Every structure is written in C-alpha cells, then in structure tokens.
Structure 1
Amino acid sequence: MKIAIGNDHAGTQYKLAVIGLLKSMNIEVENYGTDGTDSVDYPDFVHPVAKDVSDKNVDFGIIICGSGNGASITANKHQKVRSALCWTKEITVLARQHNDANILSLPARYISLPQALDMVKAFLETKFEGGRHERRVEKIPCN
C-alpha cells in the first residue's frame, strides 16, 4: 500500500506522527507536506496529494490543516477524489463504508494526536460497502 500525505504548518506534528504509524505498518509514504511550522499555503501541499490519488499513483491520501476544511475543499476539486473531513473515528469509518472516501482530511486544531492516529488506522482498515452506496458514489462527479 502507498499513501500520499500533505499538510500545512498546523499539521506538521500530526503528519510526522502519522508517517511513523504508516511506516510501522509497512506502508510506503509519499510526503508532500511541510516539515516546518512557518505559515504556508495549504493548497501547495494538498494538490500533489489529490493529483496522486486522482491519477491512482497511490492507494489513499491523508491531508492535514488547522480545520481540515481548506485542505478537503482543495482536494475535492480534483476528479476521482472523495476527500472526507473527519473529526471522530465513527465519521471516518462511515466515510469509507458509505462514501468510498479516498482522502482523509484531519483537523489538527480540533482533534488530539491519539484520535488522529486511531482515525488513520480506521480509515485504512475500513472497506467500502458498495451496494446502495455505490450507486450514490457514482452520482458524485459532475462530468
């Protein structure tokens, strides 16, 4: 499995912890995020993740910014991307089961680091249920 990850300055600590978790799970990581805490523009770090997901160069993406909103909005501009802003493990599971989310957007300023790591694990371990949900997911793209 290969994951692309991107973050702005608000998500650096979380990104480093997520990368550690992914590597402990023998998952390859493509790191597009900043490693610093100086203010940066989240789209610069989210677009490469979303492009990798859209082009199927990676299995999933993880994006992290302060609220998770800007990152998720940016990612969802890309075709074939279904970025889900999640704030609990339960929402994360539903985003995979019902929406076939392929990017997890984490709000670093609103969840704890242990919560974020649990959400990443849940995101990667949860399968899309298909069935009635597949019909709905197929209706998402505008083209």
Structure 2
Amino acid sequence: MKVAIGSDHNAFDLKETIKEFLGDTEHDVIDFGCYSKDAIDYPDVAFEVSKAISEGEVERGILFCGTGIGVSIAANKYPGIRAALTHDVYSAERAQLSNNAQIITMGAQIIGTEVAKKVVAAYLNVSWAEGSKRKIDKIVEKEKEFVSENFKSVVKDNNCC
C-alpha cells in the first residue's frame, strides 16, 4: 500500500521514526515533509497529504503535529477526506474499520514512539469492512451538499454564470 506521511516541525523526529519503521514493512512510504526542524505551518503538509489521497497518488496517510489536533482539523477541511485523531491501537483500528478514515493523526507531544508504531501498524493492518457504510454515506452526502451550496455561493458572489 502507498502511504503518505507528513508532519510539522514539532513532530519531525516522530515522523522520521515512523518513516523508518514503515521502511521495514511492505508499504511504500512517500514523505510530504517537513524535512527539518525549521518551523513550518502544519496545514500546508496536511493539505498536500489530503490532495495526494484525493488524487489517488496514495491510499492512506499519517500526519503528525504537536497534538495531532491541528493536522486533523486541516486534513478534514479537504473535500472527501476523513482524518481521525488516534493515540491508541483501538481507535486506530476503528478509524479504518468503522469510519474508513484515509488519514490518522497523532501528536508527538502526546504519544510515545513505541505506542505510535503500534498505532500505525494497527491502522495499516485493517481494511474497511463497510459495516458502518450507511453512516459514512450520510457524511459523504452532507459533504456533497455543503460543497454544492458553497460552489453556488461562490459563483453568485463573483457575478458569474
């Protein structure tokens, strides 16, 4: 499976550790940054990973920041993306099994390295069973409704069409 990975500067070390951990697996890992401890804005990385998933470049993503909250919020702004904040094995499994989350997020200031490895392994070793398909379909339909309404508003505001 192709997996995107990314972080801000606060989580650079954890991202690098997880990237190395995944290098020992069958997964193909694509690093979307950051590439040093120089300060960057986490939404930029979260949006790039979300875009790669939306365009089919990768199948899943793993994002890190200080708490995992910021990258989760940013990734979830991207249409069609479901990102789940996970700091334990059970929530990582459920992110995929129940919610078909394409991205999990973690906080480097919250989770330890060994637990993070277990969370990542749990997430990548399960597939969506469509048991909650009805619920996910509702989320997808509401998102389409919001995107459609927003598009109409943008067109109207720009005196177009």
TM-score higher than 0.5: yes
5+ residue gaps, structure 1, are: none
Aligned length: 142
Q: Which moved more, 1:82-91 or 1:18-27?
A: 18-27
Find the residue that maps to 1:33 and give its secondary structure.
Answer: coil
Aligned to 2:136: 137
SS of aligned partner of 2:116: helix
Taking the aligned partners of 1:36 and 1:52, their CA distance within structure 2 comes to 21
Most deviating of 16-25 and 31-40: 31-40
Q: How far did residue 104 of structure 1 move?
A: 0.8
TM-score, normalising length: structure 2: 0.84
Cα distance between partner residues in 2 of 1:91 and 1:2: 21
Q: CA deviation at 1:18?
A: 1.1
Structure 2 match to 1:78: 78
Q: CA RMSD in A?
A: 1.1
Q: Which runs of 5+ in 2 are unaligned?
A: 145-161
* Alpha-carbon distance in structure 2 between the residues aligned to 1:135 and 1:54: 21
Aligned to 2:106: 106
CA offsets, 1:7-62, max 9 Å, x none?
Answer: 00111111111111211113212111112223221012111100011112101011
Query: Which protein has the larger Cα radius of gyration, Structure 1 or Structure 2?
Result: 2
Query: Equivalent pairs: percent with the same residue?
Result: 34
Indicate the residue corresponding to 2:25 in structure 1: 25
CA distance in 2, matches of 1:36, 1:3: 20
Which amino acid in the other structure matches residue 59 of structure 1? E
**Which stretch of structure 1 is more off in the superposition, 91-100 or 30-39?**
30-39
Runs (4+) of structure 1 exceeding 6 A deviation are: none
Residue 54 of structure 2 corresponds to residue 54 of structure 1: yes
TM-score by length of 1: 0.94
SS at 1:5's partner residue? strand
The Cα of 1:107 is off from its aligned counterpart by: 1.1
Partner SS for 2:46? helix
Which of the pair has the greater relative contact order for Cα pairs under 8 Å at 6+ separation?
Answer: 1
Residue 124 (structure 1) aligns with = 124
CA distance in 2, matches of 1:26, 1:15: 18
